[in-house]
Amino acid sequence: MNQPDRFPLDPDGIHPETVPKREVPGTGAKIPVIGLGTFGSDHVSGEQVAEAVVGAARVGYRHFDCASVYGNEHLIGSSFRQILASGVRRQDLWVTSKLWNDKHGEKDVIPSCEKSLKDLQLEYVDLYLIHWRDKE
């Protein structure tokens, strides 16, 4: 078992090591089967989503699903900084971000990923995927 997190887990939380993980074929990477999506829609502010990320980490979440199109990655980046500053190791998180439909062009993919990295305040994401395929 890895060194325990120093992040203050809530009494109702579970230790992240007990959350089942699935191996990504051919990579050796393991993704926690339970994650938090960060889409806030028009019912939840970006700030509330960012607070939910920290709250989720406090109860044991280590998998976070983000996307630039949600418009809140810059706020979630502050949450990740707080989580990492508390002692959670980056390698113990699984962070996904997504490429939006209007960024599929060859000249757009890398800058879009770099913007997500900057906004999320991370050196890497564990998965960068196409949000959905453009039919054109």
User: Catalytic residues, which ones?
Assistant: 70
Q: Do the Cβ atoms of 97 and 73 come closer than 8 Å? A: yes
The whole-angstrom distance between residue 84's C-alpha and the CA centroid of its chain comes to 12
Q: Do the Cβ atoms of 36 and 83 come closer than 8 Å? A: no
- Residue linked to tokens 């060859």: 106
What does the alpha-carbon distance between residue 134 and residue 34 come to, in Å, rounded to a whole number?
28
What does the alpha-carbon distance between residue 58 and residue 56 come to, in Å, rounded to a whole number?
5
Q: Please count the CA atoms within 13 angstroms of the CA of 127 that sit on its side-chain side.
A: 18
